[in-house]
Amino acid sequence: MKIKSLSYKALGALLALPLIPTLAYAFQMEIATKNNYEGLTPQAHWNEMWSEVMWDITIIGAIYFAIALFFLFRYRRTEHNQVGKSPKLSAQAIIGWVVLPCMLFLGDDLFLFVKAFDLHNQMREVPAHAQTIKVTASMWNWNYDYGNGVDTDNELRVPVGKPVVFRMTSDDVIHSHYLNGYHVTEDVMPGRVTWEWIMPVKVGESVITCREYCGANHSRMYGKLIVMKQANYDAWMVSALADAKAESGHRIASTTVGKAIKNIAASKINKGQEG
């Protein structure tokens, strides 16, 4: 009787096992949110999480492989008529061999999940002072609209040290906006506006690619992200703004003339039909 009740207690304790890493992590989470965006950018946080997951699966795999290799070597058939002698499991043993591994897996799952949830919150909460850039995808082009009349194709310029949020939509099919090194991907589709944000902390260039299949030139739909010093960025913006003004003035002129010609042509055709 005593032994039995003890084993039930042990089972009960096992059920609480998955909670331990979660509770342990709750304390850490406090620290992580306090440090937000100061020491740990989302991309650095992602890298940290990635290496942790890699360690996690490597350790599980190594343990499993070690056991498997040992069995494969130790239990070779040496005699012709030899048969396996695995022990017959009692009902309790079967339950134990289900509950114990499941609790271990669940514990690891929860541990990773809570950490990933924390990272998710960081990656999906846009800082209030973020600059907004509108992204319009089309086959096969990325257009970046800076909101002040300036827009660029397949070239994205942002100042260093300032969070940027992208509000994205597509003119035709689904594309996916991926910024290499920042670990953000988000699909871009017609009829919806999706978003992602980055925190550039280093001056330099990286690749922008499309990550959702979008036809013949899917692999050629790429651009460049250029992170610039604030002064350089401001200088670029001033000249781009001047260009944009000249450009838009030209565009309005051409469309007005074009419309007038079209109207004349249309009226002539109508008259011809009447006659």
219/255 with CB nearer other proteins = 219
6/207 with CB nearer other proteins = 207
Residues 90-109 that bind other proteins (CB under 8 A): 94, 97-98, 101-102, 105-106, 108-109
Q: Which of 2, 4, 34, 85 binds other proteins (CB under 8 A)?
A: 85
Between CA 184 and CA 55 the distance in angstroms is 22
Is-contact 116 22, C-beta < 8 A? no
201/242 with CB nearer other proteins = 201
Between CA 117 and CA 225 the distance in angstroms is 28
Q: How far is the CB of 183 from other proteins (least distance, A)?
A: 3
Decide: is 34 part of the binding site for other proteins (CB under 8 A). no
Decide: is 119 part of the binding site for other proteins (CB under 8 A). yes
Decide: is 272 part of the binding site for other proteins (CB under 8 A). no
Q: Which of 46, 142, 144, 166 binds other proteins (CB under 8 A)?
A: 46
Q: How far is the CB of 30 from other proteins (least distance, A)?
A: 18
Task: Using alpha carbons, select from 115, 105, 94 the residue that is nearest to residue 18.
Answer: 105
DSSP-based three-state secondary structure for 227? strand
Decide: is 54 part of the binding site for other proteins (CB under 8 A). yes
Task: Using alpha carbons, select from 170, 56, 173 the residue that is nearest to residue 116.
Answer: 56
Site string for other proteins, 143-182 (x = CB under 8 A): -----------------------------xxx-x-x-xx-
Is-contact 176 135, C-beta < 8 A? no
36 DSSP assignment: B
Between CA 119 and CA 8 the distance in angstroms is 37
Instruction: List C-alpha distances in Å: 257 to 68, 246, 254, 261, 263.
Output: 78, 17, 5, 6, 10
Q: Which one of 23-31, 218-226, 253-261, 264-272 is the stretch in contact with other proteins (CB under 8 A)?
A: 218-226
Q: How far is the CB of 188 from other proteins (least distance, A)?
A: 8
Is-contact 50 112, C-beta < 8 A? no
5/78 with CB nearer other proteins = 78
33/82 with CB nearer other proteins = 82
Residues 6+ apart with CB under 8 A from 193: 167, 168, 169
Decide: is 51 part of the binding site for other proteins (CB under 8 A). no
Residues 241-270 that bind other proteins (CB under 8 A): none
Task: Using alpha carbons, select from 51, 54, 52, 63 the residue that is nearest to residue 101.
Answer: 63
Burial zone of 252 (CB within 10 Å; 0-12 exposed, 13-18 middle, 19+ buried): exposed
Using CB under 8 A, count the residues that bind other proteins.
78
Q: Which one of 8-16, 43-51, 252-260, 265-273 is the stretch in contact with other proteins (CB under 8 A)?
A: 43-51
Residues 175-214 that bind other proteins (CB under 8 A): 176, 178, 180-181, 183-187, 189-192, 194, 196, 207, 209-214
